Structure 1
């Protein structure tokens, strides 16, 4: 009599391993560099990504066509013939907003230090000179090149294993609470924010925020809390705040981060501090820290001091004092405001700079 024997199943997983780094190369006095001649270039400081050394070359007079400026990423390896699989994104920074726009993307491909493949792109037509000189990427005779390098290392393969557990579905309580907010069922409080109204549930708000808990259920609560007016907050910010309270998540982060200078994230951090939503406050700090640039750092630093964001303060001070951007930062509107609204931040930056000089 034949007996069915189950076929044993094993599994392993291969996942890509990458290392990514970003370098900002500021060039001042652009007009004074003109006239250097073809094949004459300015090199950025070297930087490391994925254990390999890289730099940016900028040719003010171009290399193959005088009507174009040329920009290259270069693999800088002392050992000839070193090969690295990588991709890169070369951008120009809009000096009016601090946002960057991609001009050239390469890869993933092999960079070989022993031949021309160590350069990206493979042609010199980076940006047409007439368009560049009339654009927001050149202001006060200054430009900033941003380069993001991603190095592909050896893929990671897990050990072969038997499936030992039943996969559990992800938590869906946020979906249910999100529907409760959308459908407004059993809502018992209405908010008026900047001319717009929002309905919500006192119990949910009190569960998530000690400020709302005190307002709705504390000893000093108002007798009538059916309508609550909130001043000094934009309706769009309050809408995102409510979504986080109910679902513990934010909408598409790409839309929030691409907002001019992360303005929405700043407003959201202020709202999180106001309602003691500590996790949201940390998330906002993390996003602002990851998107620092010359234009935004002074404004972000002032915000960090005003709302007791110690980790964000440290990141901003480190950015200002450990890179050659202080002159560019000092020329921004955010820095001028920082001098009047938060002089203690400048004092801390000065002390940090002096400590670095002494070491």
Structure 2
């Protein structure tokens, strides 16, 4: 009951007793108004697991890539990659081997691949090598069924398309089923100026021999 006149209060024995009045207040505090003084740091579990990789603690399999050896953990690799799962726990010869040899891959590429497997993110790379490394990593990601890494590489390459890289990137996109990346390359080559400059590169020669169907698409696109 809301009382707005003194006469109402004085005339009511239900509220005023012995010249005293008791008032009850309900206070509601919103959670949004509570300010925490504790700063919560960002998650660092990826760094902890990455340290486990570099220290080699508890590793049960190693990989020989080029002239380098990498120690790793079967259960982590198998959990992240269906190909590693088949190689390390399936009826393949690598199941009983403690050292697996990997061909046709650079050691620095495999090192980045392991980094992503253990942390789900890639370390910072110099701008001068990011295109080449993303191209190699895309091939490796496709090889081991790491779709998120593959998309990460596609994004890096899409952001750095130019006349010197577009042909090789387009060939890569066609060979590994990267439709978004292929579309970005084709869009770039719709400019006759860009196409003319790209045709003078070694990458375009590789494109014509490895992906003749893509070349036909380009010719049909620019034909009058």
Partner of 1:237: 109
Aligned pair partner of 1:205 in 44, 69, 77: 77
Write the distance in 1 (CA, Å) between the matches of 2:140 and 2:34.
45
Find 1:332's aligned residue among 191, 194, 201.
201
- 1:163–1:346 distance in 2 versus 1, CA, 3 Å: farther
Look at both structures and tell me which one has the larger radius of gyration over its CA atoms. Answer: 2
Q: SS at the partner of 2:123?
A: coil
CA–CA distance in structure 1, aligned partners of residues 155 and 193 of structure 2: 23
Residue 320 (structure 1) aligned with residue 192 (structure 2): no
Match of 1:190 among 38, 41, 62: 62
One of 128, 134, 144 as aligned partner of 1:258: 128
Residue 175 of structure 1 contacts residue 247 of structure 1 at CA under 8 Å; is this kept in 2? Answer: yes
Aligned to 2:141: 272
Q: Name 2:47's counterpart in structure 1.
A: 175
CA RMSD of aligned residues (A): 2.1
Please say if 1:227 is aligned against 2:99.
yes
The structure whose residues are more often helix, as a share, is 2
1:310 aligns with 2:182: no
**Residue from 111, 121, 129 that aligns with 1:249:** 121
Cα distance in 2 for residues equivalent to 1:338 and 1:209: 30
Task: Give the Cα separation in 2 of the matches to 1:227 and 1:258.
Answer: 33
Measure, in 1, the Cα distance between the counterparts of 2:168 and 2:148: 22
Q: How far apart, CA to CA, are the structure 1 residues paired with 2:91 and 2:148?
A: 26
Partner of 1:190: helix, strand, or coil? strand
Deviation at 1:209, TM superposition (A): 0.5
Give 3-state SS (helix, strand or coil) of 1:249's partner. Answer: coil
Is the CA contact 1:193–1:235 (under 8 Å) kept in the aligned structure 2? yes
In the TM superposition, what whole-angstrom CA distance separates every residue of 1:145-195 from its partner, at most 9, and x where no partner exists?
xxxxxxxxxxxxxxxx95667764322210111111011100000111102
Secondary structure at the aligned position of 1:325 is classed as helix
Quick one: higher RCO (CA 8 Å, sep 6+), 1 or 2? 1
Residues 286, 323 of structure 1: alpha-carbon distance in 2 compared, 3 angstrom cutoff: farther
Distance 2:143 2:95 in 1: 22
Report the CA distance shift for 1:197/1:222 in structure 2 as closer, same or farther (over 3 A): closer
The number of residue pairs the alignment matches comes to: 192
State the Cα distance separating 1:221 from its structure 2 match.
Answer: 5.2
8 Å CA contact 2:63–2:69 kept in 1: the answer is: yes
Q: Would the aligned equivalents of 1:205 and 1:245 in 2 still touch at CA under 8 Å?
A: yes
Provide the C-alpha distance between the structure 2 equivalents of 1:167 and 1:348, rounded to a whole number of angstroms: 55
* 1:214–1:221 Cα contact (<8 Å) kept: no
Give the direction of change, closer, same or farther, for the CA distance of 1:173–1:223 in structure 2 (3 Å limit): closer
Any conservation in 1 of the 2:141–2:150 contact (CA below 8 Å)?
A: yes
Higher strand fraction: Structure 1 or Structure 2?
A: 1
Provide the rounded CA distance (Å) in 1 between the counterparts of 2:200 and 2:92.
48
Q: Which residue of 1 aligns with 2:161?
A: 292
- Relative to 1, partners in 2 of residues 1:223 and 1:277: Cα closer, same or farther, differing over 3 Å? closer
Counterpart of 1:324 in 2: which secondary structure? helix
Identify if the C-alpha distance between structure 1 residues 223 and 291 changes in structure 2 by more than 3 Å, giving closer, same or farther. Answer: closer
Structure 2 residue runs of 5 or longer lacking an equivalent are: 1-31
